[in-house]
Amino acid sequence: MPVLQLDHFRLHYRDLGQGEPLLLIHGLGSSGADWAFQIESLSRHFRLIIPDLRGSGLSDAPGGPYSIAQFALDLWALLDQLGIDRIQVMGFSLGGAVATEMALQRPDVIARLMTINSLPSYRLDSWRKRMELISQIILVRGVGMRRLARIAAKRMFREPHQEPMRRRVVEVVGATSRKPYLQSVRALAQWCALDRMSAIRSEWLMLAGEHDYTPLPEKRAYAERFGARFAVISGSRHGTPFDAIEACNKVALAFFLGQPLPDAESLIIDGPERAPRAAPPCF
């Protein structure tokens, strides 16, 4: 993988495919390998830039504190180094917050912004969000990353045919270092962009799993408030790029190619006949 040397750490990334550049930003506790099931489809049409955020994957883990703003600045440094002055961006979970922050930092550079199971604010303004944060910290400190990964895997992928995805979560998240993981959790909990969202000029699509951690009404209300398009994948939980591969790819291709989105009836979770039988490769 290519490496960008920043001030105090090395940022690893992949650069593949041809066409208009598309930046893919992974979720919490993972790496660019989050996009294993999207690469083949998207790389036929786009030049994919797939980084590992600081503290994740093969990138170094400099001392904290971390912030969503700093994650975004890291990725702008990468794009500047690559000479990219116009781009489209897709972010999953934590990556959706980073993608949104990037669109706020340079409103004229991002043409289209797609976030998956992500919000424009993670401020701890409800008991549910507070309990999510507290439970994450307690589990990491009390039982370690491997046990946390097993619990997360069962929450995200509950169907029998999703066993390969459960194994992948245990493998990837379970191997994550504790300190940078908690730094990223705190960065997300401290991030709120609600008072800046009017600055976004990108065409924006919020894609949501029907049974994601945060409820659909909250996401739908944000989409209406800030003028984002909104699509739901029936049956999907938090790991939408993994449990609804076909639907996720169809939506992303249509959106980034400027085409009409697929009919809502076709946006459903992958059944046993379509789900992969092996976990994706981790690069």
Question: Mind listing the pLDDT tens digit for each residue in 22-31?
Answer: 999 999 999 9
The span from the CA of 226 to the CA of 173, in Å, is: 33
The pTM of the full predicted model, rounded to 2 decimals, is 0.95
Residue 64 has pLDDT above 70, yes or no: yes
The span from the CA of 51 to the CA of 3, in Å, is: 9
Q: Bigger pLDDT: 200 or 142? A: 200
| pLDDT at res. 10 | 97
Q: Percent of the chain beyond pLDDT 70?
A: 98
The span from the CA of 35 to the CA of 158, in Å, is: 20
pLDDT digits (tens, 9 = 90+) for 210-250: 999 888 999 999 999 999 999 999 999 999 999 999 999 99
| pLDDT at res. 280 | 66
What CATH number is given for 3-122+193-266 in this structure? 3.40.50.1820
How many C-beta atoms lie closer than 10 Å to residue 158's C-beta?
A: 12
Q: Are 116 and 207 contacting, i.e. CB atoms less than 8 angstroms apart?
A: yes
Token pair 């097993």: residue: 150
Average pLDDT, the chain: 93
Q: Are 81 and 24 contacting, i.e. CB atoms less than 8 angstroms apart?
A: no
